[in-house]
Structure 1
């Protein structure tokens, strides 16, 4: 009988969401984790890791590898994971864990806190009182065809080639100007922010924008400086009409976490 029960009961793992200095267990009980139940805290080395129950028959190394190839499952998991991290960030500094960081049990979670305690504490100190803001810049295409005017000598075919060359030149010049404007915007925002990161521009299929992205910046901003930061974004948008700026946030500081408890997509099994 006991053998049958052991086979039917999945081994409980722990999906790591993030690490904080401390947290109210009552608050954790209000946050929904990966399995639909509340998250919980695992304490060690003066830190608390916030985790969800993650049965290893679904979140172990092999099943997780298959899940990560399923875009629908991956999107649901990412949303649930981010929801927990965001809820923690609203209450204070949090070091977000990478998506799909799963431990075989709570003792492995505690061990990772002990191993990375110095880096995690330093990161939490740096993030306290700050949040990440995103600024994306999109190309604003200008008029590239000049209306009217003489086609000049050479006939209709030559005139077409001349106009086409002018269009391509204007487009290239517009893209160069937009790139220079994005550089200027990033520099100005970085001077006000505590730190700035420039990520690779997103493909239009991912961004959903009608025009190309020329700036994909992330900025760590002191909370008292947020009004000045948002005003600066608006002013820079007016100063550089060749790009359309989009401000998002505040976000958990994903872009400014160098040290994390475990590598991405790791299932930490007992050794």
Structure 2
């Protein structure tokens, strides 16, 4: 496999008005190029299959440092293009046999890519995370158990444990209801909204529950309205974290455009 190369695909845009890739660096320090076909342009790099072939990738994807570095380089290219024109991001480490296969993709999936580009034109993605502190959500211990003193230490322990479990379940229920209210409010301002899986505390760096990890596609002229809605929801209670605007990763992907 040494010496063999593949074509790494980052993002697809309309050919008209697309920025030049000159000087743009992608994964593994490779220069970014453009492949044009059927009124579309794909931003790509030539990568060694000794690193990006199927078997090497299976090993590399388990290396968190490699994965982080590759993801940063990938997103750097996507952001550079998406900051200039509407663009459809492609999944991380999408590698084809060569430029001609990428050109064939643009031709075969032309209509799907066009639809995806139309969907995101004039719009950007915002992220909103909602956190809930279990300690604040839980009811006081005195309110959990009003049935009187336990008849023994074993019974007292069981009653305390059961009360704690009930309190935690109720706290999660209330937090989930609040998250749904936030999502519905923000989705009413956005063109589209999606709920992603909540991040593990090791990734979020928070001890609080993440009860909402939402993404929202918002018309550019409604950005201020969306931010005001987030501020209003903050005043109603709960901790909301707003990020963006971003390239619309959640709403314009190769999968949505029809992966070959």
Q: TM-score, normalised by structure 2?
A: 0.87
Q: Between Structure 1 and Structure 2, how many residues are aligned?
A: 254
Pair 262,68 (structure 1): closer, same or farther in 2 beyond 3 Å: farther
Write the deviation string for residues 58-92 of structure 1: whole angstroms up to 9, x where unpaired: 22233223222322212211111111111111112
Give runs of aligned pairs for residues 237-256 of structure 1, distance below 5 A: 237-239=234-236, 241=237, 243-256=238-251
Task: Tell me what 1:176 maps to.
Answer: 173
**Which secondary structure does the structure 1 equivalent of 2:26 belong to?**
coil
Counterparts of 2:215 and 2:195, CA distance in 1: 6
> Unpaired segments of 5 or more residues in structure 1?
1-6, 264-271
Bigger shift: 51-60 or 12-21? 51-60
5 Å-filtered alignment, 1:1-271, equals: 10-22=3-15, 27-141=20-134, 142=136, 144-146=139-141, 152-154=148-150, 157=153, 164-239=161-236, 241=237, 243-257=238-252, 258-260=255-257, 262=259
Runs of 4 or more above 6 Å deviation: 23-26
Write the distance in 2 (CA, Å) between the matches of 1:154 and 1:218: 48
What is the distance in 2 between the residues matched to 1:26 and 1:254? 19
What CA RMSD, in Å, does the superposition of the two structures yield over aligned residues? 2.7
Change (3 A) 1:144 1:27: same
State whether residues 15 and 101 of structure 1, in contact with CA within 8 Å, keep that contact through their aligned partners in structure 2: yes
Whole-angstrom distance in 2 between the partners of 1:87 and 1:261: 23
Quick one: structure 1 residues 34 and 155, their matched pair in 2 at CA, closer, same or farther if it must change by over 3 Å? same
Instruction: String of CA shifts for 1:86-115, please: whole Å, max 9, x gaps.
Output: 111111211111111111211111011111
Q: Residues of 1 paired with 2:48 and 2:20: CA distance?
A: 23
Measured in 1, the distance between the counterparts of 2:18 and 2:112 equals 24
